Structure 1
Amino acid sequence: MRSDDVADPAARRHHGNRHGRSEHARRAVLEAADDLLVEKGFAGVTIEAIASSAGVAKQTIYRWWSTKTDILLDAFLQDAAEDLAVPDHGEVGADLRDYLSSLTHFLTRSDAGAVLRALLGQAQHDPAFAAVLRARFLDEQHDRDRLVIERAVHRGQLPADLDVPAEVDQLVGPIYYRLLVTGDRIDEHFTDRLVAAFLQRAGRS
């Protein structure tokens, strides 16, 4: 077996499909990085620790990523794509309540949320990484945050001249403010009040 293959019996039994072995190794690295961050915090995550936990050689990691931050970002993006699906119940109030509840759970109680908080902290003193984080996640997340409202405008459930960006800021901004600044509790009562205030502004209360 090559030294940069996954060092476990399942991988050794996998023959004739190099891509399969590589994908197995890649996913093992992403999962190991996630687990280490939750267990030890950002400073405790190293390439060496990730390689050991994932059962791969460091050369395997450097085949795909240059830094631990790159690995954590890829791990986070994979989780975000899976966990932040935008609901479509056909009614804007129900959709927003469901989406903000899911977003809050993702940010505050999931391992992926811990990864995001670490990445946002890193971005504060690394302008180059901040640009990457914005391009690869924050812009896409902003599109997700807008989707429920944009869909409702297209359906005629909300005014066509609604200032969608401003309304999105007022819906999700308080969640991020509590998450990153005050540390105040974010619960369903809080997010439901955000939705109720939006519906009143939009003439839907």
Structure 2
Amino acid sequence: MPEKNTPDSNRRSERSRRAIYDAALALVAEVGYPKTTIEGIAARAGVGKQTIYRWWSSKAEVLMEAFIDLGAQAAEAAGAGDWAKNDSIPDTGDVEADLKTVLRATVDELLDPRYEAPARALAAEGLADPSFGEDFVGRLLMPSLDLYVRRLRAAQDAGQVRADVDPYIARDLFVSPLAQRWLQGTGPLTHAYADTLVEYALYGIAPR
């Protein structure tokens, strides 16, 4: 008797998970986060809503994992030379050029329609729900922000940044204004703006 092929439950689960990620990202972009529901995600993904609740407790959790996966997929597609894939900011010996490279890439990502709608939704949900906000910062924001701290410490070791500078505060000098302008729309988000933030952070605004 020929053996029957048994369904691969792991493969089926991964296929369902991928469909749920895609559905969550698509719905947030199309109808906005407030109108996105677990039921809508399930219908779009072609799964039962009980499947979603088996893995996540809320639409915010679904969206955050979908967003993290989107970033991982983008880094994978970018190739091994990409700084995000290597989980480090490039160190060419020129800290100004390296920070500008990464901050420009951040601008491009924030303006990419694939990222903008879910990123704004997650940021808003993080403010509305402190518990989710803590998870959002820990899982999504801090890993990226820590890359800047490590690069600034390397610059300190190389004598390019003063030894007494707190790298966490120095990081915030250019990362935080970028985030604020993106969230509040107080001005255009451009490569030139990113470059200026790096220059102001590194050299200050007093006459040289």
TM-score class, shorter: 0.7 to 0.9
**Percent identical residues:** 34
**What is the TM-score normalised by the length of structure 1?**
0.82
Instruction: Say which SS state the counterpart of residue 44 (structure 1) adopts.
Output: coil
Task: Report the residue type matching 2:22 in the other structure.
Answer: E
Instruction: Say which SS state the counterpart of residue 24 (structure 1) adopts.
Output: helix
Structure 2 residue aligned with 1:150, among 144, 149, 153? Answer: 153
Unmatched runs of 5 consecutive residues or more in structure 2: 76-82
Q: What is the CA RMSD across the aligned residues, in angstroms?
A: 2.2
Find out whether 1:96 has 2:106 as its counterpart: no
Find out whether 1:49 has 2:51 as its counterpart: no
Task: Report the residue type matching 1:79 in the other structure.
Answer: L
Instruction: Say which SS state the counterpart of residue 161 (structure 1) adopts.
Output: coil
Q: Counterpart in 2 of 1:121?
A: 124
Structure 1 residue aligned with 2:196, among 185, 193, 199? Answer: 193
Q: Counterpart in 2 of 1:181?
A: 184
Q: Hey, what's the Cα distance between the residues in 1 that align with 2:127 and 2:191? A: 29
Q: Counterpart in 1 of 2:16?
A: 25
Unmatched runs of 5 consecutive residues or more in structure 1: 1-13
Whether contact under 8 Å (1:32, 1:53) holds in the other structure is yes
**What is the TM-score normalised by the length of structure 2?**
0.81
Q: How many residues align?
A: 189
Aligned ranges 1:76-87 → 2 under 5 Å: 76-81=67-72, 82-83=74-75, 85=84, 86-87=88-89
Deviation at 1:89, TM superposition (A): 4.7
> What are the Cα deviations for residues 59-114 of structure 1, in whole angstroms up to 9, with x where unaligned?
22122111111101111122334457144151212211110011112223242232
